[in-house]
Amino acid sequence: MATDAIAERLEELWETEPTLYGRLATVDHKIIGKRYLYTAMLFLIAGGIEALIMRLQLVGPNKTLLGPEAYNQFFTMHGTTMIYFYAFPILVGFGNYLVPLMIGARDMALPRLNAFGYWTFLFSGLFLYASLILRSAPHAGWYAYVPYTLQTYSPGLGMDFFALALIFLTVSTTAGGINFLVTIFQLRAPGMTISRMPLFMYSSLTTYFSVVFALPAFTAALVFLELDRKWGFHFYDIAHGGHPLLWQELFWFFAHPWVYIVFLPATGMISMLLPAFARHPIVGYPYIAVSTILTGLVGFGVWLHHMFAVGEPQMSMSFFSAASMTISIFTAVQVFAWIATLWKGKPVLTTSLLFALGFIATIVIGGLNGIVTAVIPVDWQITQTYWIVSHIHYVLIGANLFPVMAGFYFWGPKMIGRMLDERLGKLSFWLMFIGFNVGFFPMQLLGVFGMPRRIYTYPAGEGWTTLNLISTIGAFILGFGLLLSIINFFVSLRHGQVAGDNPWNADGLEWSIPSPPPSYAWVHLPTVVSRHPLWDDHDELYDPNDERVFDQDRLTLSTTWKDAEPVSLARMPEDTITPLAISLTLSVIFIGILLTNLWLALAGVVLSLAAAAAWIWPKHGPKAMLEPQSERVTA
Partner 1 sequence: MSSTYTEMPLPLRRQPFPVNDKRGSLSIIFFIATEASLFAVLFASYWYMAKGAAVWPPDDPPKIHYALGMLAVLVSSSIVLHWGEGQIKKRKVGAGMAALGVTVILGIGFLILTVLEDSEHLSVLAVNHDAYSSLFYMITTLHAAHVTLGVCMLSYVFLLPSVEPRSVTPHRPYHNAALYWHFVDTVWIFIVLFLYVSPNVGRR
For residues 563 to 582, the per-residue mask of contacts with partner 1, x marking binding by CB under 8 A and - elsewhere, is --xxxxxxx-----------
What are the respective helix, strand and coil percentages of the chain, to the nearest 5? 70, 0, 30
Site for partner 1 in 188-227 (CB under 8 A): 190-191, 212-217, 219-220, 223-224, 227
The verdict on 198 binding ligand HEM (CB under 6 A) reads no
Minimum CB separation of residue 435 from ligand HEM in Å reads 8
**Smallest Cα–Cα separation from 629: which of 522, 543, 512, 526?**
543
Minimum CB separation of residue 594 from ligand HEM in Å reads 22
**Smallest Cα–Cα separation from 129: which of 86, 66, 173, 172?**
86
The verdict on 481 binding ligand HEM (CB under 6 A) reads no
The verdict on 496 binding ligand HEM (CB under 6 A) reads no
The tally of CA atoms less than 13 A away on the side-chain side of residue 476 is 11
Which of residues 30, 55, 531, 548 is near ligand HEM by CB under 6 A? Answer: 55
Distance CA 475, CA 596 (A): 41
β-strands 566-571, 555-559 pairing: antiparallel
Minimum CB separation of residue 203 from partner 1 in Å reads 18
The contacts of residue 616 (CB under 8 Å, 6+ apart) are none
Minimum CB separation of residue 108 from partner 1 in Å reads 10
The verdict on 601 binding partner 1 (CB under 8 A) reads no
Are 222 and 216 in contact, with CB atoms under 8 Å apart?
no
The verdict on 529 binding partner 1 (CB under 8 A) reads yes
DSSP 53-65: HHHHHTSSTT--S
* Residue sitting closest to ligand HEM (CB): 79
Q: Kindly indicate which of the ranges 9-17, 82-90, 275-283, 353-361 contains the residues binding ligand HEM, using the contact rule CB under 6 A.
A: 82-90
DSSP 306-344: GGTTT---HHHHHHHHHHHHHHHHHHHHHHHHHHHHHHH
- Please identify, using beta-carbon distances, which residue of 462 and 536 lies nearer to partner 1: 536
The verdict on 313 binding partner 1 (CB under 8 A) reads no
Distance CA 351, CA 185 (A): 33
Are 521 and 100 in contact, with CB atoms under 8 Å apart?
yes
- Please identify, using beta-carbon distances, which residue of 377 and 544 lies nearer to partner 1: 544
Question: What are the start-end ranges of the H helices in 58-157?
Answer: 68-80, 88-103, 111-133
Which of residues 42, 49, 132, 178 is near partner 1 by CB under 8 A? Answer: 178
Give the interface size with partner 1 as a residue count (CB under 8 A): 73
Are 301 and 320 in contact, with CB atoms under 8 Å apart?
yes
**Smallest Cα–Cα separation from 362: which of 324, 401, 389, 326?**
401
Which of residues 454, 538, 571, 632 is near ligand HEM by CB under 6 A? Answer: 454
Which of residues 34, 243, 279, 454 is near partner 1 by CB under 8 A? Answer: 243
Cα 570 from chain centroid?
A: 27
In the list ligand HEM, partner 1, none, the entry touching 249 (Cβ below 5 to 8 angstroms by class) is partner 1
Site for partner 1 in 102-121 (CB under 8 A): 109-110, 113
Minimum CB separation of residue 628 from partner 1 in Å reads 5
The verdict on 626 binding partner 1 (CB under 8 A) reads yes
**Smallest Cα–Cα separation from 200: which of 341, 103, 331?**
103
Which of residues 555, 580, 582, 589 is near partner 1 by CB under 8 A? Answer: 555
Minimum CB separation of residue 185 from partner 1 in Å reads 6
Site for ligand HEM in 218-237 (CB under 6 A): none
Site for ligand HEM in 343-372 (CB under 6 A): none
Are 282 and 199 in contact, with CB atoms under 8 Å apart?
yes
For residues 388 to 427, the per-residue mask of contacts with ligand HEM, x marking binding by CB under 6 A and - elsewhere, is -x--xx--xx--xx--------------------------
State residue 338 phi and psi, 5-degree precision.
-65, -45
Which of residues 142, 252, 308, 433 is near ligand HEM by CB under 6 A? Answer: 142
Strand (E) or helix (H) holding 559 = strand 555-559
Site for ligand HEM in 57-76 (CB under 6 A): 75-76
What is the contact surface with ligand HEM in residues (CB under 6 A)?
A: 48, 51, 54-55, 75-76, 78-79, 82-83, 86-87, 141-142, 389, 392-393, 396-397, 400-401, 439, 453-454, 475, 478-479
